[in-house]
Amino acid sequence: MFNYQSEWDFSYKQESIIIGIFEKSIKLAGKLAELDTHFQGELTNLVKSGDISAKQKSLAKIHTFGKIGTKRIIFVGLGKEKELTFDKLKEVFGAAWKEIKKDKWKETSVYIDSFVTEKLNASEVSHAFSEAFALSTYEFAGYKQKSNEPEKRIEAITVFSKADQQEVEASLYVGFVYGRGTNSARDLVNLPGNMLKASDLAEYAQNLAVTYDFDIEILEKEDMLKLGMGAFLAVNQGSVEPPKMIVLKYQGKENWQDVIGLVGKGITFDTGGYSIKPKTGIVGMKTDMGGAAAVLGAMEIIGEIKPEQNVVAVIPSTDNMISGAAFKPDDVITSMSGKTIEVLNTDAEGRLVLADAVTYAKHHGANYLVDVATLTGGVIVALGMETTGAMTNNEELFEQVLEASQAAGEQIWRLPIFECHKEKVRSSAVADLNNSPTRDGHAIMGGAFIGEFAEGTPWVHLDIAGTSTTRSAYPLGTAGATGAMTRTLALLVERFRGARK
């Protein structure tokens, strides 16, 4: 899809080219000054008049009227050079890609060197460009009847840069892989519950394993009974759909050690059980497997870039339904770890399936744990829809997750787990733990509960209840699923340095 060219020849025939312009001077310089000569200085006049603006994310489409081989130039405002960051650059590219998609052009190009700064080299610009392409042009196909007209898609992208071809092409590839993996997670989250059951999620993981040569294990209900996964099985009791414990292994080192465990909540639909959700709250619960989607999207990226790191992905998947067999408030269940749990809220089911999944990840040799889940509405109350809540028992591991999230452009904020929170989770009169001690600090209660099963293993919990979906379009996506934490998890694995207990 990406075609590298070391020099932009103005006679090159194409539908459009994307060029960046900074707020620095009215006079165009370098290659852009040379371009301006083909327009007899009219581009400079358009800059002076403000028709071509350098304001960040502003777009100006200029028809060339045959003065050069390209039909149209898209000038993209970059703001002040020293203020342009990698994240802002991705949003700038996202705005340009959305415009190109709207115009239904089948080919375009970019002058990479016009976006390079002292802080952002051509490789970083290329990564931002291709990742933004994948993310911003995404849309969920849906189930509406289609017209007979063939859909117009971008088929060819030419990249002009004097930078090293190998480095630029490698960055274009990696950026696109990160964007595509995120889109895979978005697709899964956007699927309706009747189209994505636990068995479908297991089949999806099976296909990933075949594509990337992962080791795979799918535990059936009988296997879980033998292993004593009473917490997971309790949530599945009300369902006619069999549960699946999905395990994918990627071995990037010679020996199976220093293993990162990625654990994703895979509740394919959540009624709340007998603690049933209200009619407005139950709509959208097809997205309650956002954590599983993030882990599977990350595994796709890992399969492509092949980092030197060992990873085990564990996904407990079921729906949480109501029937005569469903588990009830006041039930006491026994987890795989042996810890007993008093159920005070059947709508606090995510922490129950994650309890057994975390234990099983450790069973597979996970030395570090990161769980991702649409766990609590409480995290939205605390942090809004734009920030993922995080909790941890290990500073070194958390710092690396934080660094990965910042590099991915995905905001996280740490919430505390103090001894008083642990005491509340342990406050049952009849069991070791209770699954919902109080509405106060609800997001913290959920994280503290999962932490009881991580025990001494370095662990980070990511609550994406707010960030897994969005109500409106934005430069790098559409309304619906965001694929939150997919890129953060993949970057964590790619850059992992280890963490002491």
Q: Inform me whether the pLDDT recorded for 331 exceeds 80.
A: yes
C-beta contacts of 208-213 below 8 A and 24+ residues apart: 208/248, 208/296, 208/299, 208/300, 208/303, 209/248, 211/303, 212/250, 212/299, 212/300, 212/302, 212/303, 212/304, 213/303
| DSSP assignment of 402-463 | HHHHHHHT--EEE----HHHHHHHT--SSSSEES---STTHHHHHHHHHHHHHTTS-EEEEE
Percent of the residues in the chain that have a pLDDT greater than 70, as a whole number: 98
Q: Inform me whether the pLDDT recorded for 432 exceeds 70.
A: yes
Q: Inform me whether the pLDDT recorded for 497 exceeds 80.
A: yes
Q: What is the pLDDT of residue 4?
A: 92
> Do 295 and 262 contact (CB within 8 A), yes or no?
yes
> Do 372 and 263 contact (CB within 8 A), yes or no?
yes
- From the list 203, 360, 408, 233, the residue with the least C-alpha distance to 296 is 203
Q: Inform me whether the pLDDT recorded for 1 exceeds 90.
A: no
Among the listed ranges 58-67, 242-251, 291-300, which one has the minimum average pLDDT value? 58-67
Q: Inform me whether the pLDDT recorded for 291 exceeds 80.
A: yes
For residue 83, give the amino acid letter.
E
Q: Which residues are part of the catalytic machinery? A: 277, 351
pTM across the whole model: 0.96
SS3 content of the chain, % helix, strand, coil (to 5): 40, 20, 40
198 or 153, higher pLDDT = 198
Q: What is the pLDDT of residue 144?
A: 85
Q: Which domains does the chain have, with CATH numbers?
A: 2-163 (3.40.220.10), 194-495 (3.40.630.10)
Q: Residue 85 carries which DSSP code? A: -
Q: Kindly indicate the confidence band of residue 213, based on its pLDDT and cuts at 50, 70 and 90.
A: very high
Q: Inform me whether the pLDDT recorded for 26 exceeds 80.
A: no
To the nearest 10 degrees (0 to 180), the angle between helices 122-136 and 165-190 is 20
Q: What is the pLDDT of residue 408?
A: 97
Q: Inform me whether the pLDDT recorded for 27 exceeds 80.
A: no
- For 114-144, the pLDDT digits (tens) are 999 999 999 999 999 999 999 999 999 888 8
Mean pLDDT throughout 80-98? 95
